[in-house]
Amino acid sequence: MEDDKQIWNEFKRENDIALSCIYHRNIDFLYGYGRKFSKDDSLILDTIQDLFYDLIRNRKNLGATDNIRLYLIKSFRRRLIREIQRSRKQNIFQFEGEHVDCEFFSIEDDWVNAETQDRRSKYIHQALLALNVKQREILYYKFYCGFDYDQICEIMFISYDSARQLVSRAIQSLKKSLTSAELFFLFLVKKIRL
């Protein structure tokens, strides 16, 4: 996007409006993305703040980009994982013996939103259970962010081939879990629309 490129260059030239624009266009997305990794709000907000502080500090030396969100997400993901692992390590000290896994993209809480009682949420919950964390993460980039494979590879540090494989396996499992009961649901949706 030409727009992104221009905003980025303006930001590098110390234009305050460009910084404001980058922040306000992405803050909700970054926060929502952070929530997929952790439910610790202060950890997420601190990490976002560090991300922006470093952008400001290093702005003269930043590379060019034509996709600001992708640029942010790459750096943000790495920082988040590091912070989460750091905080988990401390936790392990507190509760010795308790095994903690890195459950990125866990399907609890807001993945399946507030009205857990409604049919659609239950259905989503059921379907997502069929996927592992990596699969959930990659489909999120593909179907929510609309990133292409090259961009996904950059974010997740995986090869093109493994990205394709991860997606295709995930889709097969999802299709399998869309059993006849779910087809009824599909049918319902269609009926209502008609």
Partner 1 sequence: MTREKYITYSVDELLEDKEFISFVLRTADTDEWHRFIDSCNGYEQNILEAQQIIRLFNTPEIKLPQQKSDKLWANIRDFNAESVRIAKVRRMKYLTWGAASILLFVMVGVYEYFNILKPSTPYQFADYKDSIIPDVPLLVLSSGQTVNLSKKESEVTVLRDKGAFLINKDSIINNHASHADDEKNSYNEIIIPYGKKSKLELEDGTKVYLNAGSRLAFPQKFRGKKREVFLDGEGYFEVAKNANMPFVVKTSKIDIEVLGTRFNVSSYQGDAFAETVLLEGKVEVCETGKIFSKKTAMLPNQKAIYSAREHVMVLKNEEDPALYISWIEGWYQFSDENIETVLAKIERYYNVTFKYDQRSFVKALPVSGKLDLKDSIQEVMAVLSKVAKFKYQIIENEVIIK
CA distances to 6, 31, 71, 84, 128 from 64, rounded to whole Å, are: 10, 24, 10, 29, 37
Q: Is 96 helix (H, G, I), strand (E, B) or coil?
A: coil
Select the residue interacting with partner 1 from 4, 10, 40, 154 (CB under 8 A): 154
Shortest separation between residue 48's beta carbon and partner 1, angstroms: 7
- Asked if 178 and 131 count as a contact pair (C-beta separation under 8 A), the reply is no
- Alpha-carbon distance values, 130 to 21, 78, 152, 165 (Å): 39, 26, 21, 16
Answer yes or no whether residue 56 interacts with partner 1 by CB under 8 A: yes
Neighbours of 112 (CB within 10 A): 18
**Residue 159 interacting with partner 1 (CB under 8 A):** yes
x/- contact string, 103-142, with partner 1 (CB under 8 A)? -------xxxx----------x--xx----------xx-x
Binding site for partner 1 (CB under 8 A): 14, 16, 19-20, 23-24, 27-29, 31-32, 35, 41, 45, 48-49, 52-53, 56-58, 61-62, 75, 78, 82, 110-113, 124, 127-128, 139-140, 142-144, 146, 148, 153-154, 157-159, 161-162, 168, 171, 174-175, 178, 182, 186, 189-190, 193
